[in-house]
Structure 1
């Protein structure tokens, strides 16, 4: 995926050659990835970690989601690592000049307070057969079990299959078989499974035929109400909502009835619907159903979960509050990237692409708050989708399974009136992050040459208090005055651990020509760093 540096071409400052002090004995093969004494998961206390590895190797680790290097913190066997808050721990074993693959573990550190109810919220399963999905969902349910051994409910929020009007409705039975097998395997006997209708689900009749009645207990319109240990859940059919007067009346009436009871004034009411609604999560990208936003606007107690877009949940725009709370619940099959950005691939910069990162939300409802944790089911640096096909098979094991794709969100409903509750929302447009990324290394840009002589500009990834979303990259051939690269290049934020560098290829670089690179790091909200610059000669 990345160009390996063989020769430093030239940079803004001369670079010293490696010294003998840095030379290490070679080994015949890379060491195995480190093991860990306490698996990732949800804990009600701090955890103390010990790493295990092959004799003669050194384990180095990071706690910020980056990939460990030979400069990262060293694990000492006599000094276990203590984790006291939500953290991603990534470890690499080094032996001579060889390094193991990185492996990451996600830890959620909670108190002993028990939630009223627990939910796993997923969407866009897009299953079509057993062969490519049985092992994958064994891994996914293992991850679910590491956080919620017995979730009260799993919400699968639309697009269970991948029907495009081509008669794939029977695939719902395959999904049902896979889910039932894993519920049984994990001992999740009391877990409710509740499904919504999506645009790739082949219609309501196919859903009803494919699953147990309890999984989709609609009365004809694809919408229904559930009670999960006293927490109210409404499943709406976003394929018809905008023009479905009966569904709209049902939802508004029931919400009004519930919130009229003073006991429910500060209790969350969960709503799941496949498509996002206008002007909410991820700035309303791929949104529809403006009537749903209109109908929920009178009920700040509502927390709407939506999928459909396949947009990642790493991005803090995945939660939005104005009149109610709206949350993007990601995708279980792959993430898409919104238009206008590019990604570094083995063949250069790709324009439109997908990456097989699978993500879900883990929701805990307490008496005074709702905690929403963002979890990667799989976020390894695997193949991508380009030219109409995946570049490789994407199967477990996943070194990133169970890692956190961002800090948790806490929704509190504080106030004695609806307006007071809204005034106390924290994930609003007015409260959006205003901290810009920054480059933290002395020379964030260098010029490198790949194994076939290709020239690239290497970016040492910038730092941000949330995440660096992309880089504005401009590379000019100053010999001719022509632009070699002018792109917004994604930072690989949806990969765990994220790469420490990105190599931006310079297509058609001409020997003897001078080049100037200018790079700006930008976060999800558009906050931009000062520009980093580099001049070099090919």
Structure 2
């Protein structure tokens, strides 16, 4: 039997609802790795949920868009076949479409195919184990027109009238702007004013391909919001990285969320890595979804004294040439994984001659213990100092590591 890390499910949490959320699967016409990842995700879900002695089984799977690369009939039927063969017994299926489902031959045809193949409606309000699930498919790519706004507002109000203290689980493909990590470049603000009226909303969204083990993928301000990751490739919502927004090893991506609720309306969210079969070391907790003052995952997290730190670490400068070198160093420690590193190349008088920002590759469950970065564009026969500073997700910085070297 395959060895698996212990499940982080809170044994004192009396679960009455369990569902999973995933997005951005990107099944293609040709054979693709995403098919294997979806199959494994479904198999893992079945194994994880059936082996839990507290609460057996999965009540629902929600897929929030971009399950197909271009929304062709073949791609949709491949997704349907995988779901038919792998969805755990008894689980309800809720799906929305995203921008990619419209790319083959337009929105109207995509909507028709979606209904014919999955026998689902693009917008839905379902009650599962006494909890409200509202899912909205965007229009015109990732937009909410007046009809979509009216649907969202009406269904949220119905849910709130049923029980104003219970969480309302809300799903759409794009993030809500300025909420979770990824929502600056991949968010829409067209229903923010509606969601703000219902702080008990727990919103799930994709579109960005941002890692769900980034603690910023859990966000609370006016309501609770969670990013849902990807089974295809990572993208980062940062624009100062030496590699651009597509990070190294971007294809090592397969993540989703398992969500639980209890009879009192408390919620637990567990991020899971499909590639390694492990949960990430986070459990996000919402104890009073209706009470904004109880929120834990707010922007107040940026006000912290916690900093990354280097411990017994040295910089190794190797493969020195006339205009460059390779710099290797051990990763920083801290409460969370480091987010990134600033690498400064200083001249003899301490002035910055080159500055790179690189990711720590925190999005990989097996984050590498060391990083190597090639530095180029230096002057020949010149002495330099390399300075490295680790950055946290909350914009705090470590003390600097330094080393001296000279080009040939």
Fold similarity call, TM over 0.5? yes
CA contact (8 A) 1:207 1:216 kept: no
- Pick from 26, 45, 48: which aligns with 1:144? 45
CA contact (8 A) 1:169 1:201 kept: no
Work out the CA distance in 2 between the residues paired with 1:326 and 1:480.
Answer: 44
TM-score, reference length from structure 1: 0.66
Q: Secondary structure at the match of 1:466?
A: coil
Question: Mind listing any 5+ residue stretches in structure 2 that lack a counterpart?
Answer: 51-56
Per the alignment, in what secondary structure is the counterpart of residue 193 of structure 2? helix
Contact in 1 for aligned 2:134/2:170 (Cα 8 Å): yes
Per-residue CA deviations over 1:304-335 (Å, capped at 9, x if unaligned) read 10000111112111111111111111112111
Q: Match for residue 525 of structure 1? A: 394
CA root-mean-square deviation: 2.8
- What residue number does 2:137 align with? 237
**1:168 — aligned with what?**
72
Length, aligned pairs only: 390
Q: Does 1:111 align with 2:7?
A: no
Q: After TM superposition, give the deviation of residue 303 of structure 1 in Å.
A: 0.6
Q: Which runs of 5+ in 1 are unaligned?
A: 1-36, 41-104, 343-348, 379-399
Other structure's SS at 2:190 match: helix
The separation in 2 between residues aligned to 1:433 and 1:141, in whole angstroms, is 39
Q: Do residues 156 (structure 1) and 74 (structure 2) align?
A: no
1:229 is displaced (CA, Å) by 2.0
The match for 1:299 among 198, 201, 226 is 198
Structure 1 runs, 4 residues or longer, greater than 6 Å off: 479-482
| Corresponding position of 1:367 | 263
Match of 1:182 in 2: 86
Aligned match of 1:353: 246
| In structure 1, distance between residues paired with 2:182 and 2:280 | 19
- CA distance in 1 between counterparts of 2:260 and 2:69 reads 30
Q: Which residue among 289, 292, 297 is the counterpart of 1:422?
A: 292
Of 142-151 and 366-375, more deviation after overlay is shown by 142-151
Match of 1:217 among 120, 134, 137: 120
Post-superposition offset of 1:506:
2.2
Distance (Å, rounded) in 1 between the aligned partners of 2:133 and 2:297? 22
What is the Cα deviation at residue 442 of structure 1? 2.8
1:251 to 137, 152, 159: 152
Listed one character per residue, the Cα deviations across residues 482-536 of structure 1 (whole Å, up to 9, x for unaligned) are: 82x4111101101121111111212256775322011111111211112221112
Q: Following the alignment from structure 1 to structure 2, what is the Cα–Cα distance between the partners of residues 243 and 449?
A: 54
Pick closer, same or farther for the CA change 1:281–1:256 going to 2, 3 Å: same
Q: Does 1:336 align with 2:243?
A: no
What does residue 335 of structure 2 align with?
465
The answer to whether the Cα contact below 8 Å between 2:37 and 2:274 also exists between their aligned partners in 1 is no
Shift of residue 243, structure 1, vs aligned partner? 5.1
TM-score normalized with structure 2 length: 0.86
- Tell me the residue number matched to 1:197: 97
Task: Answer yes or no: is 1:39 the counterpart of 2:6.
Answer: no
CA distance in 2, matches of 1:175, 1:460: 41
| 1:238-268 Cα shifts (integer Å, max 9, x gaps) | 335855323322322232233234xx12211
Q: Over residues 317-361 of structure 1, what are the superposed CA-to-partner deviations in whole Å (9 max), with x where a residue is unaligned? A: 11111111111111121111223243xxxxxx6334250211111
8 Å contact from structure 2 (residues 308, 391) kept in 1: no
Distance 1:196 1:204, change over 3 A: farther
Measured in 1, the distance between the counterparts of 2:15 and 2:358 equals 41
CA distance in 2, matches of 1:288, 1:135: 29
CA shift, 1:189, in A, is 2.4
**Contact 2:64/2:172 (<8 A) preserved:** yes
1:457 alignment partner, SS class? strand
Aligned counterparts of 2:336 and 2:76: Cα–Cα separation in 1: 38
CA distance in 1, matches of 2:350, 2:308: 31
CA contact (8 A) 1:405 1:494 kept: no
Change (3 A) 1:351 1:365: same
Matched-pair contact (CA < 8 Å) for 1:436–1:529:
no
Distance in 2 (CA, whole Å) between partners of 1:113 and 1:121 is 20
From 273, 286, 289, the counterpart of 1:411: 286
Distance 1:431 1:327, change over 3 A: same
Within the candidate set 132, 143, 152, 2:32 is matched to 132
Distance 1:255 1:136 in 2: 33
Bigger-Rg structure (1/2): 1
Contact 2:37–2:231 (CA<8 Å) still a contact in 1?
Answer: no
Partner SS for 1:181: helix
Q: Rate the CA distance shift 1:248–1:509 in 2: closer, same or farther, 3 A.
A: closer
* CA distance 1:422–1:463, shift in 2 (3 Å): same
Per the alignment, residue 5 of structure 1 pairs with none
Counterpart Cα distance in 1 of 2:320 and 2:66 = 41
